Structure 1
Amino acid sequence: MAADYERVLTVKPEVLVYRLPPRPSNRGYRAADWGLDKPSWTGRMRIVALGNKLTIKLEDRNGELFAKAPIDEYPSVAVESVLDSSRYFVLRISDENGRTAFIGIGFADRGDAFDFNVTLQDHFNAVKKDKEIENSMTTEKHLDLQLKEGQTFKINLGGKVGAKGNTAKPRTNVALGAGGILLPPPPSGVSRPVASIPPPQQSTASTDIFGIGTSAPPSNPPQQSTDAFGQSDWGDFAGAQQAASNSSASDPGWIQF
């Protein structure tokens, strides 16, 4: 709160001042003992604030100061409520020499008494909050956030970290088909084998020497049996072909193709 100028918090045009009788007990004052129909003084009230300090000033109609009451806190002994009414209070006043006295004050309107009470409460609540903020700022200034010798800290950036501190990347399995063509991924985790396309079968059909028809040799030709001496059961074809050649030369009726 600013402390270089005086702020007027509230003004009440009419306040009644009473001379207090001796205090009957330690419990408090009763306004009924003051002679409420005969006030000792009537004037106006101004409540002013200078920084955190609050002062209640009682002035006459010309603005001349009649009495003032510095208030350090509320509720306190400086302002005290009476036991039998909400419109009357006991106020501690002081002069320039530091002498103090107690007087009774009251308001003809109950709303003025309510405003008087709320003004004091609001002011000191604001002072309390200002002190709390100031204390918190002071604590933050003295807060040491530097790392001490040997202290370390870790920062988690999310994801899984590998053995060397690098973030592990997911692996992607790529399947290549025949000819290096990229195959589409299998649906929902089902792995299907790639079917191999067999090469085209070549025709082994042959035309006989007369051109009548074709015949395909059997896929597995019969194995020639060999006797114990390593000769075929059909004899030596080389010898038979040589014999046929000799007979065709000697026999003119043999037709050679």
Structure 2
Amino acid sequence: MATEGQAEYESVLCVKPEVSVYRIPPRASNRAIRAADWKLDAPDWTGRMRVTARGKLASIKLEDKITGELFAQAPVDEYPGTTVETVSDSSRYFVLRIQDDNGRSAFIGIGFGDRGDAFDFNVALQDHFKWVKQEDEFKKQAQTPDTTPKLDLGFKEGQTITLNIGQSKKKDRSRPQSSGGFGLLPPPPGGKLAPPPSKSSTHNTHPSAGGSDTGCLLDLDASNSNSAAPSDDTTTASSDLWGDFDSVSPK
């Protein structure tokens, strides 16, 4: 649209090559208007229709098909409204309030031979005044000051923020170790601790000779745990208690 101080240009919203015009009787009451009350088979005038817009104001112009001479026009400042009204018994006929240059007005009936033409005429007016309504809302929003409180996300003086990045919530649980630095393995299922070898065992040597104790402390073979023990008194005595091993003195 043209800016303030400049002439507004006229735009064409819809053109229909043929429309019929009818003289309609005066309204006797507020009852609905019926096109069947008109002389539909004998229109009073036929010609071309152009729907134009200049700014917010629309105009319906009835013109001669050949010369383009203006027959009548109807200024439209709102739709739906009193300038353009529908009838109760058909979607192809409307009532227009035409107006001349002297401000005199009269009501006439118009009709389209095709329903598609009537639909286009109706939609052209609807779209124009929908745009007018949106323009009015934009102007109101521009003129109304924004009183909505603003959200201040800036830091105040002396305000700090702490970020915890990469901290694990799990505690560090380490495997307990023996005093010698080696962890003790648990015995296998069904396993038993073997008794320490006695002093008289053939597998032990005197400490002074530099020998080492090669006896096993763990019996890893669970299948041998149920074997019968020998009846030798020396073997029986060595499997009683660990204290006997400590109490034996070298000969």
Please classify the TM superposition score into its range, dividing by the shorter chain length: 0.5 to 0.7
User: Which runs of 5 or more structure 2 residues have no equivalent in the other structure?
Assistant: 182-207, 209-251
How far 1:136 moved relative to its partner?
A: 2.2
Contact 1:82/1:89 (CA < 8 Å) preserved in 2? yes
SS at match of 2:42: coil
Q: For this pair of structures, how many residues does the alignment match?
A: 175
Between the aligned partners of 1:105 and 1:166, the Cα distance in structure 2 is 74
Q: Residue 167 in 1 paired to residue 172 in 2?
A: no
Q: 1:48 to 1:191 in 2, by over 3 A?
A: same
Residue 14 of structure 1 aligns with an amino acid whose one-letter code is E
Q: CA deviation at 1:54?
A: 0.4
- Give the TM-score of the pair, scaled to structure 2: 0.60
- Partners in 2 of 1:164 and 1:191 — Cα distance? 40
One-letter amino acid of the counterpart of residue 173, structure 2? V
The whole-number CA distance in structure 2 between the counterparts of 1:59 and 1:155 is 66
Q: Could you tell me how far apart the structure 1 residues matched to 2:166 and 2:35 are?
A: 90
AA aligned opposite 2:27: R
State the SS of the aligned residue for 1:189.
coil
Distance in 1 separating the partners of 2:54 and 2:104? 21
Alignment partners' CA distance in 2, 1:171 and 1:123: 61
From 109, 130, 136, the counterpart of 2:135: 130
Match of 2:81 in 1: 76
Q: Which runs of 4+ in 1 moved over 6 A?
A: 193-198
In structure 1, distance between residues paired with 2:87 and 2:154: 64
**Structure 1 counterpart of 2:146, which letter?**
L
Unpaired segments ≥5 residues, structure 1: 157-162, 173-186, 199-214, 216-257
Aligned-partner residue type, residue 98 of structure 2: I
Q: Does 1:27 align with 2:22?
A: no
Letter in 1 for 2:34: R
TM-score with structure 1 length normalisation?
Answer: 0.58
Q: 1:92 to 1:170 in 2, by over 3 A?
A: closer
Contact conserved, 1:2 with 1:50, CA < 8 A, in 2? Answer: no
Aligned to 1:239: none
Q: Distance in 2 between matches of 1:41 and 1:59?
A: 10
Partner of 1:103: 108
Aligned to 1:143: 146
Report the Cα offset of residue 170 of structure 1.
7.6
Partner in structure 1 of residue 13 of structure 2: 9
Code of the aligned partner of 1:130 = E
Contact 1:45/1:58, CA 8 A, preserved across alignment: yes
Cα distance change on mapping 1:77 and 1:144 into 2, 3 Å: closer
Distance 1:71 1:117 in 2: 13
User: Aligned to 1:129, what secondary structure does the other structure show?
Assistant: helix
Alignment correspondent of 1:113: 118
User: Per-residue CA shift, 1:20-72, capped at 9, x if unaligned?
Assistant: 11224311221111111111111100000111110000111211111110011
Is 1:67 paired with 2:72? yes
2:36 is aligned with 1:53:
no
**How well do the aligned residues superpose, as a CA RMSD in angstroms?**
3.4
Matched, 1:88 2:93: yes
Letter in 1 for 2:100: D
